[in-house]
Structure formats: C-alpha cells, structure tokens
Chains A and B, each alone.
Chain A
Amino acid sequence: MNKLFATLLLTLAALPAQADLKVFATVPEWAALAREIGGDKVQVYAATTAFQDPHRIEAKPSLLAQARQANLVVAAGADLEIGWLPLVLRDSGNAAIQPAQPGYFEASAWVNRLEVPTVLDRAHGDVHAAGNPHVHLDPRNVLKVGEALTARMAELDPAQAATYRSGFKTFAGKWQVAMARWEKEAAPLRGIGVLVHHRSFVYLESWLGMRELGALEPKPGIEPSSGHLTSLLARQQATPAKMVLRAAYQQDGPSQWIAGKAGIPAVLLPYTVGGTLEAKDLFGLFDDTLQRLLKAAR
C-alpha cells in the first residue's frame, strides 16, 4: 500500500514537468503585466475577472488547484485579498508561494500607497491598514511594479531572465510613450470634481489631478444608503461634482440615482483589464478609461 502510494505520488509529481513559469495573479491587471513581461515564456492564471469584487472572493477549489501548481503568486496586497488569499496559500500545500518566499509578490509593496490610515478602527469601515490597495490606476505605479516583478521573475526563472528583462524594456518603452500621450490628453480633467462608488480610483485621481468629492459608500465596504446619497446630493450645491465613477464590478443603481438627481453623467470605468470590451490589455485599460472620462467631462 505504502509503495503504491509512493509510486502514485511520484507519477503525479512528474506530470507537470513543463519549464514554463506558472504565475497565479489574484487580479487581472497584474496578470496582464506578467504577460507583458513574460510573453509566451509564462503561463498566467488570473484568479478573478474585472466583474468580481476582489475583496469578496471565496477560497474556491479551482483557486486551490491553481495555487498548488504556481511558481509565483502576484497579489495586489495591502489586505485587498485578505478574505481568501491567505487560506488559498496555506491550503495549497505549495511551500514556494508562501508570504516571505520569493514566489510571493505583493504589487502594492513597491509603490507609495495613499490613504494609509492613522487610526485603525472598524468604525471607519473595512479600512486597509497598509493604505488604499487599488494602486494600478496610476500608470507610474504600473512601471514601478513591472520593474520589481521583472526582477522577481528573473530570480525565479534564471534561464529566461534575459527574456523577461527585454520583455519589460519593450513594455516600459511603449508605456512611457503612452503615458506622455495620456497625460496630454487628460489635461482637461485636471481639477475636475468627481464622486466615486468605492474609493477604488484614488491613484487615478492623484495622477490626473482630479478631486474626489465623496464616495457613495458611507464607509469603505458598507453599501450606499439612501440617507448618505441624499447628503451627497445636498453637497452638490456647494461643491459640484462633474461625474460619478464606478468600477465594472460595482452595482450601477446608486451612481445612476445620484447621476439622475444631480444631472451629471454616471461613468462606468473598466477599473481593470477586461472591465470593458476596449480594455483588452493594460494599454487598452488606460486608453478606454481616459476616453470615458473625457467624454463625460465634455
């Protein structure tokens, strides 16, 4: 029986003997970045889609099976996936992807986070002790994360290190050109006041110089209430917002309500890769985000 089990174990262990680096990305944006860097040398699995709230995912069997075989987990970090990822990592039986191992990478650790709370109290809602985790909507952060991710991929897969570095160099070159274009195009957005559903756009706003005048969620993670929406509407007189933003995975009801009452456009932003048809990759994500913002600002 023991021998049989050992043989079975060995056979199964030998099955996935492919050389490719297997990347388990918790969110589509970092899956897309890993693909940009690794090209066809990496197998990238995205644990969530743009239509799923990354805070509220469950430790599904499929995620465990994928994490079991991953060489590298790329997480957003800053507690975004705290409700499911720690469980997936621990139950995966995969020693390489545990926190503090080279196979565990947290994107938000490589950028300056905004909104790091000075007071940690759940009376302020589901606050993240390490700051706002939605860091990817500032393209400068994408570049910083990309540089660190390239180094990590090269460390884990030295045979392809040169490929990853040149992959990133090509990406960074195109990204910088695109960033200059975006910043130019986005000039009319500077100083515009916006409302947001959840505080998922602070990095975008800080990059483009937009002003966030309020969130439809009374506190992070608490659903919009009619009382809170009414108070936001009342504030519209003194400090008028030009539009109300929501991510593809958020319900449209609250932003439609306030848009209708205040006579401002409700703007759906892809938020991440795959959130709209146009947001096919990271470039498409920013192109489409800007097009949608500019259209609403007109």
Chain B
Amino acid sequence: MQKSFAMAALLAASCAAQAAGSDADLAAIRAQIAEMKQSYEQRIAALENKLAEAESRTAQSAAAPVAVAPAAQSSASAFNPEVSLILQGKLRQMKDIPNRGITGFFPAGVEGANGRGFSADETELVLAANIDPYWRGQAIVAMADGQAEIEEAWFQSLAIGHGVGLKAGRFRSGIGYINEQHPHARDFADAPLMYQAMFGDSYAQDGVQLKWLAPTPLFVEFGAEVGRGANFPGTDRNRNGAGGSALYVHVGDDLGVENSWRVGLSWLKTKAGERSADFTDLAGVTAQGAFTGDSTTWLADFVWKWAPNGNPKYQNFKFQGEYFARQEKGALNCSSADAASLCNVAVESAYRTRQSGWYTQGVYQFTPEWRAGLRYEQLDSGTRDFGLNTANLAVDAYKPKKTTAMVDYSWSEFSRVRLQYAQDKSMAGITDKQWTLQYIMSLGAHGAHKF
C-alpha cells in the first residue's frame, strides 16, 4: 500500500513538472488519479471489513477454549500413553551371608537381598492412560537381568461416582502405609524388616479392589480386596474362588495448615498350601518345612507430615510408623533327604505362630535438595508352636533389630542420589554394617505420588 502511495506521489510530482502541458493531458491524468483513488478506497474498505470480521470472530472465540496446536504430532501417536522409566541402581557393601534371612521368621524370600557391589537393580517401566471415559489403566513392568516381572497391571474406574473406586487386575494391596509405594518412592533404599518378614517386600495380588470414600469433611476410606492370594504368606493353590482377602480403613485430615495425618487399620487373610522353606533341625542339618494353613495379618499404620505454612518445597518433616501382628495356624511337614536329619522320615505336626513387629521412621527435608532420615525397627519372633516337630526343629526366639540412617540429594523432582547406612541385627549373632549408595532417576511423564 505504501508503495502505491509512493507511486501516486511520483505521478503527482511528474504532473506538476508537466504543468505547462495541455489541458486535455491534465484532464486525462486527473481521471486516472480519480480512478486509482476509487480503486484504493474500495480495497481499503474491503480490508477494513475483513478486519472487523476477524475481530468479532476472536471475541466470539473467547468463549471457547484456546487450543494450543501440538507441534507436528501425528494423530495416531497423540494417543500414546504416559510413559515413564525409573532407573535405580546401587552400590552396596555388607557381609556375605549365604542364606540371608530373618531369625525366627518363616523366610519370605527377599529377592536380591544378598546382592553386593554394583548393580543396576530393577528398571521400572510405567505405562498409564485413560482407556475411555469410564476406565483408566496402568502397567508397571520391573525389568532385571533375564526377567521382566509384571509388578502391577490394572484398570480402575473413573465414572462410578458416589465415592466408589473399583480396581481390577494385579495391584499392590491398599493395606498398611508403604505397601502401595514402589521402591523408587520410598525414603530408604530397602523395605522395612517388617515388610520383608511379612511379604518379602510388599503385598500384591491378582484380584479386585473396591474402595469407598465417605462423603464427610474428615477423610474416611474403606477398602476391600479379594484375589488369588498367590504371594507370600499365601501360596498359589490353583483353586476356584479367592485365595486371599483384605479389608482396611483409612482416616486422615489436616491439623491447621501445617500438619496432615493419616491412620489406618488393615486385615489380610491368606491361605498357604505346602509353603516350603529351609529350616535347621536340632541335629544342625538343613531340613525342609512345608506349611499348610491360614495366615492372618493385622496392620496398624500412621503417618504425619509437617511443613512450614504447608509448603513442603523448602522444608518438611514426615514421621511414620507401622505395626503388624500375624497369626498362622495349620500343619507343618518336616522332611529331609539327608540321612543325618531328624526329619529323614517326614514328620507332620501342628503349627501355630503369633508374631509381631514394628518400625518407625522420620525424614526431614531441610533444603529443597537435601533430606536426612532415621529409621528404627524391631520384630518379635513371638510364640512358635511346632507341635510334634518341636522335637526336630530349632525354635528360635529372637528379636531382630535394625537401625538405618540415610541422607539424599535431589537435583530436581526427577533425580535423586542416596547414601544409607544400616546396622542390621536381623540374624541372631550377626551385626551387619551395610552401606548403600543408590540413585533413582525418573524419565518421562511426571508421576504423582500418594500421600
């Protein structure tokens, strides 16, 4: 447009120079200029109309969400689930104890508990997405050398309402407090002794979970689960129906703006069929004990979190504790292929135990990057009645103890490195000083962690 005006000006100037020209020429030029003016005015009017139209359109579109066009994303890949990958590896220094276990407890078999030196540990792949308006799905695959284990694979309801939540598939049970937490979300490099004794690490099962959140200002949640119950303390028994069931209730609230708390009470019942483990008989020979019967676990847990102004970013403190009591009733079969064993001829007896344990821990984050924590735990092998087999098997009465201290550093929400020292007296007569240097790196989707 500017260019056209410039041309018009030039034209006008040249007109002035030819002022001496004939009137006819002058009239022709005037006509030309008038024509040009008219054509420009028309074009300007058209442009103004267009502008007004566009303005009214943006005004209207204020009522519609402003979409940000995803850059070069094909519609097929746009539906990809949220993906995250957790890298966690460690360097561990401790005693070499061939059959690491917890004295006085039926071994739950803690995987990798004896690994020393460097290890890439487990790599966790998490995939999650809304399936449709009614369901959401998530799968967590833990990968280690030569194996990929489905840690969780479930779908959960989004549209039932009335405070009801339904989950089905393989999931970590809602019992206790840290049971649902994956290792990368925990505050220490290993699970508390109590969880190792109870479940090996944590309790998951294939089944159905139903939760109901009460419509009250106080947080009150009830949960019920039925499932296969194939994991310790139960065993896979290949039966119709449920092999394990759990019930729990959680209550929680805030105290002022700075404090939040939650307490829980849980009950888990599982059945075991020939759950076998190594025992030492009174002749000092290894014999196999197989337990068949019921296992009932009660759990009580509480957690309290504090942050100045309720802003946990700079400083916060978290204090938690859990207690468990377990009762097992059934039969124990003692057998051994070793001729020196007292169980060389298999002996079947009654089996009754009542055992308990607890842990408590505090973690203080004193800057956005640094945290330090202390954990103390103690188990009680309690009463162990092996019936007839008391004559064959050693009944250890012992109170395993462990004290753990850790300090960790986080560059961001996605990366953390941790140094941990533990004095482990979980085996009678042994004090194991354990050092662990661990990293936890989260790639991909921003995860959300439970309270």
Q: Mark A residues whose CB is within 8 Å of B.
A: 9, 12-13, 15-16, 48-49, 51-53, 55-62, 64-66, 68-69, 79, 82-87, 90-96, 98-100, 109-113, 116, 118, 122, 125-126, 130-131, 144, 147-148, 151, 221-223, 249, 251
Q: List 16 A-B contacts (CB under 8 A).
A: A9-B162, A48-B310, A59-B451, A60-B260, A61-B253, A61-B262, A62-B252, A65-B213, A65-B218, A66-B217, A86-B448, A90-B158, A93-B164, A98-B133, A110-B62, A118-B71
Give the chain B neighbours of A66 by CB distance below 8 A: 217
Q: Is the CB of A68 within 8 A of B213?
A: yes
Q: How far is the CB of B341 from the nearest CB of chain A, in Å?
A: 49
On chain A, the residues within 8 Å of B311 by CB distance are 51-53, 56, 249
Residues of A within 8 A of B412 (CB): 122, 125-126, 221-222
* Cβ < 8 Å to A, chain B residues 214-255: 214-221, 250-254
A49 contacts B212, CB within 8 Å?
A: no
How close is B222's CB to chain A, nearest CB, in angstroms? 10
- Name the one of B62, B211, B262 contacting A147, with C-beta atoms under 8 angstroms: B62
One of A57, A113, A221 near B66 (C-beta < 8 A): A113
CB distance from A144 to the nearest CB of B (A): 6
Q: Are A65 and B65 in contact (CB under 8 A)?
A: no
Chain A min CB distance to B164 (Å): 5
Q: Which of A51, A87, A95, A98 contacts B448 (CB 8 A)?
A: A87
Minimal beta-carbon separation of B56 from chain A (angstroms): 16
Give, as a whole number of angstroms, the nearest-CB distance from B366 to chain A.
13
On whether the beta carbons of A56 and B313 are closer than 8 Å, the reply is yes
In the complex, which residues of chain B have a beta carbon less than 8 angstroms from the beta carbon of A65? Answer: 213-214, 216-220, 252-253
Kindly state the interface size class of chain B when it binds its partner: 35 or more
* Chain B residues, Cβ within 8 Å of A9: 162, 212
In the bound complex, CA of A83 to CA of B446 (Å): 7
Residues of chain A contacted by B448 (CB below 8 angstroms): 59, 82-87
Residues of chain A within 8 A (CB-CB) of B252 are 60-62, 65
Tell me, in angstroms, the Cα distance from A87 to B181 when the chains sit together.
14
Question: Known: A51-B310, A222-B411, A223-B369. Contact between A91 and B253, CB under 8 A?
Answer: no
Determine how close the nearest CB of chain A comes to the CB of B348; give it in whole angstroms: 37
Can you name the residue of chain A whose Cβ is closest to the Cβ of B445? A82
Nearest CB of B to A174, in Å: 19
Nearest CB in chain A: distance from B296 CB, A: 19
Q: Does B159 count as interface, using CB distance less than 8 angstroms?
A: yes
Q: When chains A and B are docked, how far (Å) is the Cα of A85 from the Cα of B413? A: 16
- Kindly state the separation between the CA atoms of A64 and B136 in the bound complex, as whole angstroms: 18
- Chain B residues, Cβ within 8 Å of A57: 312
Contact A92 B163 (CB under 8 A): yes
- B413→A126 contact, CB < 8 A: yes
B219 and A16 contacting across the interface, CB-CB below 8 Å: no
What 7 additional pairs, Cβ within 8 angstroms, besides A13-B162, A60-B305, A93-B212?
Answer: A49-B257, A61-B253, A68-B214, A83-B448, A87-B449, A95-B160, A95-B161
- How many Å from the CB of A98 to the closest CB on chain B? 5
Shortest CB-to-CB span from B359 to chain A, Å, is 21
**Does B68 interact with chain A (Cβ within 8 Å)?**
yes
Contact (A68, B163) CB under 8 Å given A60-B254, A83-B413: yes
- Please, which residue of chain A has its CB at the minimum distance from the CB of B369? A223
In this assembly, does B18 line the interface, its C-beta being within 8 Å of a C-beta of chain A? Answer: no
Confirm or deny: B368 has a beta carbon within 8 angstroms of a beta carbon on chain A: yes
Chain A positions within 8 Å of B446 at CB level: 79, 82-83, 126
The complex places the Cα of A77 from the Cα of B311 at a distance, in Å, of 19
